[in-house]
Chains A and B, each alone.
Chain A
């Protein structure tokens, strides 16, 4: 019985992985997209729906939907703001910066001293550079003297944008 349960768990993991590989480039744009995936993988559509719901619940799928392209939608200025914060304060300030409505991504990443002293990365989008810099100033005000220095790296060109693909 125990052995069977483990087998089932492994089968589910394998199927989840197959579903990921089949859909990571996108869902088929047909009336019954899950049926098409089921046919492609040779399994019942009920199982596909069940596993997708499960992955959405446990966070392996962040959400199902569209990803808008910031650039074509007019948000042509993209600034990666980077901040040098004391390590013992990064958690508190990381969450605070991440809560700002205009920050699209916020991560703690390692420094590379001496050339790279920054440990907090916050991505800011705007219609132009001035708008991004105004938002960056708001972050600077929030961090105050806790931040030792910061920079904004504007993107000047998208060289590749295929998204994360595995398998």
Chain B
């Protein structure tokens, strides 16, 4: 990753234009060609410097349901449980954390009902209790991360 990659990442955390040739507009500001910009974004995605490129949707404004969940997983079964949990398409992110509650994942579904069903199926398949932490209020969601 070079200085130009960094300025691309910083520039593309603002608002990507909605016009016929959006890459050409951004490329113009950065002083490179449309094609170069597209190739660099592709490479940054391939090399995992970026997790995605596109619209960031606010899922709960589409009538969907989202909840942070946590489980206490016995160490000796951790990988097996992780595999079972990750197999659910409703699981968007999953992190191991150093706490008695050691598995933290985000469930996202079309409705509260399908989210609850997924949670119950995870409990059935793992034999473990799933604690749910749906957000009561959002104070801040960072949209810019300087690199």
Contacts and interface: CB of A to CB of B under 8 A. Distances in A.
Most buried by B among A27, A31, A34, A164: A164
A122 to B, nearest CB: 8
A59 B96 contact: no
Contacts of B139: 94-95, 97-98, 106-108
A110 B110 CA distance: 22
Interface in B21-60: 21-24, 34-35, 38, 41-42, 44-45, 47-59
A143 interface: no
Nearest to A99: B140
B140 A60 contact: no
Interface string A45-61: 10001001101101111
A25 interface: yes
Categorize the interface residue count of chain A. 35 or more
A5 interface: no
A34 B134 contact: no
B38 A153 contact: no
Nearest to B41: A29
B136 A29 contact: no
A99 to B, nearest CB: 7
A151 B99 contact: yes
Contact of A62 (B58, B82, B98, B131): B58
Given A109-B136, A159-B82, A165-B92, A27 B61 contact: no
A44 interface: no
A19 B86 CA distance: 26
Contact of B97 (A116, A155, A164): A155
Contacts of B82: 159
Contacts of B109: 166
Interface in B5-20: 9, 12-16, 18-20
Given A98-B140, A104-B145, A64 B54 contact: yes
Contact of B62 (A56, A104, A166): A166
Interface of A: 16-17, 20, 23-27, 29-35, 45, 49, 52-53, 55-56, 58-70, 72-73, 78, 80, 90-91, 94-95, 97-99, 103-110, 112, 115-116, 119, 121, 151, 153-167
Interface of B: 9, 12-16, 18-24, 34-35, 38, 41-42, 44-45, 47-59, 61-62, 64, 66, 68, 82, 85-86, 89, 91-99, 101, 103-106, 108-110, 131, 133-143, 145, 147
17 contacts: A20-B57, A29-B41, A31-B35, A34-B20, A64-B15, A68-B50, A68-B51, A80-B97, A94-B137, A105-B142, A107-B136, A153-B98, A159-B103, A160-B91, A160-B105, A166-B62, A166-B110
